[in-house]
Amino acid sequence: MTDQLLTLNAGSSSIKVALFDAGAADGALPVAHWSGQADGLGGGLDARLRVRDAEGRTLHDAKLDEGEARTHQGALAALLDWHARQRGGGRIAGVGHRIVHGGMDFVAPVRIDDAVLDGLAALEPLAPLHQPHNLAGVRAAMAAFQGVPQVACFDTAFHAVQPALNRRFALPRSLHDAGVRRYGFHGLSYESIVHQLAREAPELAEGRVIVAHLGNGASMCGMAQGRSIATTMSFSPLDGLTMGTRCGRLDAAVVFYLQRSLGMSLDQVEKLLFRESGLLGMSGVSSDMRALEASAEPAAAEAVAHFVEQVVQHMGLLAAALRGLDAIVFTGGIGENAAGLRARVLEACAWLGVEPDAAANAAGRPKISTAASRIGAWVLRTDEEAVIARHTARVLDAQLG
């Protein structure tokens, strides 16, 4: 019976799990046997567990009972119980985890022990929306699979190779050396796109590419030869583009004003910037791009226009960092599905030399630029789970070797 790997991505109210064969360390990115997602954890009214196969067909869809089942550990137990009832299941040889922040020290996937777990917990203030929930998923998996190796894979690691100048703030060197620097995020997604470009457009894989990971959390990355050169998020996942509930780029003096002149506490400011701003704060309607595009409220239209404009402006910044551009790739929940928004971005980026193919874009084809376009435009579906599985297999293979 084939050994298998689980990948686990735990968010604040959800947990994503996928199952792969263990022998996936080299070659093309592996394909999951199935992927499962539990939403509405922590008290959601419609907490559900859904499982789909590699073709997207639903294998399981059930409501999670109130109580323990709606915790990360309970949802993982329900998913594993479903898996145990299926035929042909192999031994779980390892579990790979998405960890948002690796800080200065974790720049490559690593097997998790108590010291690593403590080090990752110390980084929670840098990613308060993500890191605590990522680690809750680790603890749930450690309880479910006692003695099974757990591997941490970091969203920040992909950007650790950036030029030193692009990782600095203009702050005293002592602060940079203490860790106040640009880290960048969504690295597992960007790594997935690098692999896919090598297959779909090998002539571009070694070129200068801007990848726009657009979703509730949104960032962009300028890459050359498959390596990160510059990215829009920096010290935390708060910086850069307008996001679902996060403000994105902000003059730091606004924080001083909110506290000194408006009397807001530090906790209130943090809640405002992380949870009450972005598309939700601007529109007063929703943080969901689909709801905003369907809304007749002028504020909703303004929020969408602001999001588009920020993507366009950062496109120019990243093209400058790359000293030129060969291709643009859209990914993430919005990037992959919002054809109208993609069209608006590409129209505003015509000066870069991109000529969109309207029919291909509407159809959601991988290539959405014309044959005559000097800059290629693509839509690729990110697969962070496959990247996590690859890294987990390599860590386990290295230890066996």
Query: What residue ranges do the domains of the chain occupy?
Result: 4-154, 199-379
Q: What is the pLDDT of residues 170-207, one digit of tens each?
A: 999 999 999 999 999 999 999 999 999 999 999 888 89
Residue 51 neighbours by CB under 8 Å, 6+ apart: 34, 35, 36, 58, 59, 60, 61, 79, 82
Read off the pTM.
Answer: 0.93
The three-point CA angle 113-117-123 to 5° equals 150
Count of CB atoms within 10 A of residue 114's CB? 7
Sign (positive or negative) of CA dihedral 143, 145, 150, 155: negative
The answer to whether the 4-154 and 199-379 domains have the same CATH topology is yes
Sign (positive or negative) of CA dihedral 323, 226, 153, 365: positive
225 backbone dihedrals φ, ψ, rounded to 5°: 55, 35
- Domain 4-154 CATH assignment equals 3.30.420.40: yes
Q: Which two tokens stand for residue 43?
A: 């008290």
Class of domain 199-379: alpha beta
Q: Which residue has the higher pLDDT, 135 or 14?
A: 135
Report, as residue numbers or ranges, the catalytic residues. 155
Amino acid, single-letter form, for residue 71: T
Count of CB atoms within 10 A of residue 37's CB? 18
**From CA 103, how far away is CA 121, in angstroms rounded?**
11
Q: What is the pLDDT of residues 67-124, one digit of tens each?
A: 666 777 788 788 878 877 876 567 889 999 999 999 999 999 999 999 999 999 999 9
Q: What is the pLDDT of residues 195-247, one digit of tens each?
A: 999 999 998 888 999 999 999 999 999 999 999 999 999 999 999 999 999 99
**From CA 6, how far away is CA 97, in angstroms rounded?**
9
Strand, coil or helix: what is 88? coil
